[in-house]
Amino acid sequence: MSTLRELTKEELLAPGHRMCAGCPVPTLVRMTLKALRGPTVIVNATGCLEVATSIYPYTAWRLPWVHVAFENAAAVASGIEAGFKALMRKGRWDQKVDVIALGGDGGTFDIGLQALSGALERGHDFLYICYDNEAYMNTGIQRSGSTTFGAATTTSPPGAKIPGKREWKKDLIGIAVAHDIPYAATASVAFWKDCIAKVRKGIEVDGPAVIHAITPCPRGWRHEPSESIKVARLAVQTRFFPLYEVENGKYRITLPVPNPLPVEEFLKTQGRFRHLFKPENRWMIEAIQRWVDKNYERLVKLSQL
Ligand SMILES: Cc1ncc(C[n+]2csc(CCOP(=O)(O)OP(=O)(O)O)c2C)c(N)n1
């Protein structure tokens, strides 16, 4: 696949779901579903995507889909993959079925991490995609292990006591790669070609694959619904969210950013960072810039190994 024309016109996520206006998660899902190569089962952890696409008695999913708890998406995906394998071994099934698990950052970085680690360690052949809106959005914008340092959330409100979230974002891909899996990558909804190619690769590799996709949330990030894709693009152009992949341990930056914009350009698009622009908080912007620079340098070094 190299042009838009070559993509299937089939939409396996039906319109009419109840995701918020401007939410890029359905866009990510539509891209994902255009990368399929055959029969596929979707495993969906509790989160915005699940609650808003499966409001009883309706469903927006036009392929087999199972809702699982917040914490066990990867465990259920493992079970489905192992189940099909067993049926094939017994001669009761003869077609490869791909399994894709989808979870938010809360379900992935925090509560589902144990199940994900177990599934990666056991080597199940499935793709795990984390859509990262950097908080527990569907329950009221609580901070998660993925929320950026300094961000305002309902559980890290900036004020006299704290200047926003005090901890740094976890390195999900680093954790996944430490399991020695065949494929891991980051993706942004603003770069569809890169995103679809990575999903396809993740499906095709034999063994576990993990994709970490940045999906700006107009409600929680406090930006205009029409700006989500622009924000997702700025995340990459400022090197805040570099696009790279790790194939069998080999790092490659898939979209190098030789002349990055300052991270401020990304931060200032969002109300959740408004307080950082007060003179007494500017040190936090500088700290985020240092974090961004260090991370990108690290990725450049790793990709030269
Ligand atoms: C064990 C457990 N604890 C808490 C909840 C309540 N809960 C449902 S969804 C959710 C947050 C999900 O956040 P995330 O995974 O980031 O997805 P998002 O809502 O942002 O799409 C929480 C806390 C739950 N369903 N199960």
Q: What would the mean pLDDT of 9-26 be, rounded to a whole number?
A: 97
**Looking at residue 279, what is its pLDDT?**
97
Q: What would the mean pLDDT of 95-103 be, rounded to a whole number?
A: 97
- Ligand 1 pocket, mutate which of 70, 108, 111 (most atoms under 8 A from CB): 70
State whether the beta carbon of 139 lies less than 6 angstroms from ligand 1.
yes
Sign (positive or negative) of CA dihedral 36, 126, 41, 145:
negative
| Cα(134) to centroid(ligand 1), Å | 12
Contact 137, 80 (CB under 8 A): no
Residue 299: Cβ-neighbour burial (10 angstroms; 0-12, 13-18, 19+): buried
AA identity, residue 207: G
State the Cα–Cα distance between residues 128 and 103, nearest whole angstrom.
8
> From the alpha carbon of 136, which atom of ligand 1 is closest?
13
Query: 139-184, pLDDT tens digit by residue?
Result: 999 999 999 999 999 999 999 999 999 999 999 999 999 999 999 9
State whether the beta carbon of 148 lies less than 6 angstroms from ligand 1.
no
Query: 227-279, pLDDT tens digit by residue?
Result: 999 999 999 999 999 999 999 999 999 999 999 999 999 999 999 999 999 99
**Looking at residue 228, what is its pLDDT?**
98
Is a pLDDT exceeding 90 seen at residue 1? no
- Ligand 1 pocket, mutate which of 29, 139, 142 (most atoms under 8 A from CB): 139
Q: What would the mean pLDDT of 50-67 be, rounded to a whole number?
A: 97
Q: What's the chain's average pLDDT?
A: 97
Query: 20-29, pLDDT tens digit by residue?
Result: 999 999 999 9
pTM across the whole model: 0.98
The two tokens of residue 293 are 């620079």
- Ligand 1 pocket, mutate which of 44, 46, 105, 133 (most atoms under 8 A from CB): 46
Q: What would the mean pLDDT of 186-193 be, rounded to a whole number?
A: 98
**Looking at residue 252, what is its pLDDT?**
98
Is a pLDDT exceeding 90 seen at residue 3? no
Ligand 1: residue whose CA is nearest its atom 2: 70
**Looking at residue 4, what is its pLDDT?**
85
Give the range among 1-10, 118-127, 180-189, 263-272 with minimum mean pLDDT.
1-10
| Cα(302) to centroid(ligand 1), Å | 34
Helix 73-89 with 113-122: angle, nearest 10 deg: 30
Distance of CA 5 to CAs 34, 193, 201, Å?
A: 12, 12, 20
> From the alpha carbon of 25, which atom of ligand 1 is closest?
21
> From the alpha carbon of 71, which atom of ligand 1 is closest?
1
State whether the beta carbon of 71 lies less than 6 angstroms from ligand 1.
yes
